[in-house]
Structures are given as structure tokens and as C-alpha cells.
Amino acid sequence: MTPTYDQTVREFRDYLQQIGYGKSSVSMLPDCVKAFLESQGHIPIDEMRSADIVRFYRWLRQRPHKRKEGALSEQYINHHLYALRIFFGWLETTGRIGENPISTMKFKSPVPNRREPFTQGEIKALFQACQAIEETALLHLFYSCGLRRAEAVKLNTRDIHFRQQVLYVREGKGAKRRAVPMTARVSRELENYYLEARGAAKKAKDTEAFMLNGTGTRMSGDSYNRRLKEIAARTEIKREISLHYLRHSIATHLLESGLPVEQVRDFLGHSHLEATQIYAKVHQNQIRKL
């Protein structure tokens, strides 16, 4: 990227930070803009036109995903377009360009990623397909305790109180802490893993992490996901599966069982009821009643 482009991206990042964008947006939006600018060669920014954005948009739709098979998601492409709208709007407001090339452009709205929760029958099938104590423990962390991927990766042995039947998330999303209640069965089976599998591991190298991989070190998010797919492969479940689907499913099942949405929100560690509504498909009327 040219020095001029690089300087502009840094100033754009500073602008986002100054007006109060969140940490993830301050990181993501400039990176999206940087990808666009790098695709333009050495064209001065004030000479960029709508046709340049159209070419970039078409390139994104053809570009393969770098970390997995297939093309980029509609949501990922939309992030780039959103970043360009903010970027060129900022340039126009500050007088750096005389014409905003994206201001009148319209693009196809991204199709929402509809995640259908697993049925309770499918969850039962996953548990029945487990062939090792650590596999059962994995399902309990993501389904029974509703942990996020990063939360499970950071989980330490001191965070689980088996007798009190409580799991502590020390640093959840947004640096939030929460206590997750466990049933007697969940507590017992997590303790079984701790005593029988983890405790008996002769090559355990990480003394703090709760879940360990084959090398005795902390289980990574990719390792969790791979083990889950191995479990699912032994079932009749043919649709897409991920760690987050388990969290989404427990939220839905708790609401279906009649647990108040406020308690589900606290269980998941959401800051707002609207977030719980998105994950668990709570009807808008349920939110209004609160």
C-alpha cells in the first residue's frame, strides 16, 4: 500500500476511535478499507469513482475464502461495503474529496445467516455418540453451560466448583464476568473428566487449563470444533454444526421450557435482551412484556 494510502487509513482509524466506535469496529473497518485501497494500485483517492467500487465488489464475490472452502459470505462482503460508506463519508465531510463515489450506490442486501437450533432429540443423539469422557465434557461446556468458544478456551480448573455446581466465566465478551449454574449431572460429568481423563494425563503440560488436547496443552477453539464434528459424524445429523449452534440451542430450549428471558440473558452473558432475542428467536412480544 502506498504511503498516502497508509497514512489515510491510520487517520481513519483514529477518527473511528475518537467518535466512539467499538474496539472490533476500530480494527475491522480500516482493514476493509485497506483491502479496497490495495486493490486500486496507485489511483489517488480523490479520483476514485463508483466503477472502482463495483470492480472491488465483484472481486470480493469471486475471491475464495482464505481459511475454509467456498466463497466469502454475504455478511463479510457487506462489512466491506459498510466500511467504504463510512470511509468515503468521512473523506467528504473533511473536504478531502469533492465527490462521494459510494453515496448513491445500492447493493444486494445480505441474506441473514439463519441458524436453526438443534432439536432436543439431536442434542440427545450427540451425547449418545460420545466415545470418551472429554467428548461428553465438551458438549456440556458448549450446550449445558452455554459457553462461547473463547470462553471455553480460557476456562481454567479453578473456574469450576463441582460441589457448588457453579462454573465461573472470568472474562466473557466485553470483559464481563458471570456465574453459570450447573445441574448435578453436568457437574458430576465435568468432574469425571477432571479426575479421570485430565487428572490421569501423564503428559499434561498446562496446569491451569481445564480442557487439554492430545499434547497436554490448552484446548484451542479449532480443536474443540474438530472434536465436535467428529462426534456429529457418528450421528444421523447431516446439517451444518458448530460450537455456537450448541449455545444457540440451549438458549432456545431454556426459553421453550419456560425460563424467563431475563434469566436466559444472564445465563448467556448478554448485555441486552435484544441479543438474547436474536440468538434464541424470542418473539418480539415477549420482550415488550418485560
59, 39 Cβ separation under 8 angstroms: yes
The upper half-sphere exposure of residue 58, i.e. CA atoms within 13 Å in the direction of its Cβ, equals 6
CB contact set of 239 (below 8 Å; sequence gap of 6+): 116
* Residue 282 Ramachandran class (φ > 0 left, ψ -120 to 50 alpha, else beta): beta
Would you give the distance in Å from CA 282 to the centre of its chain? 20
Give dist(CA 157, CA 167) in Å, integer: 10
- 167: β partners: 160, 180
Q: Match 463515489 to its residue by C-alpha cell.
A: 101
- What are the residue numbers of the active site? 148, 173, 244, 247, 270, 279
Give dist(CA 33, CA 141) in Å, integer: 37
Give the pairing type, strands 160-161 and 178-181: unpaired
Burial (Cβ within 10 Å: 0-12, 13-18, ≥19) of residue 168? middle
42, 1 Cβ separation under 8 angstroms: no
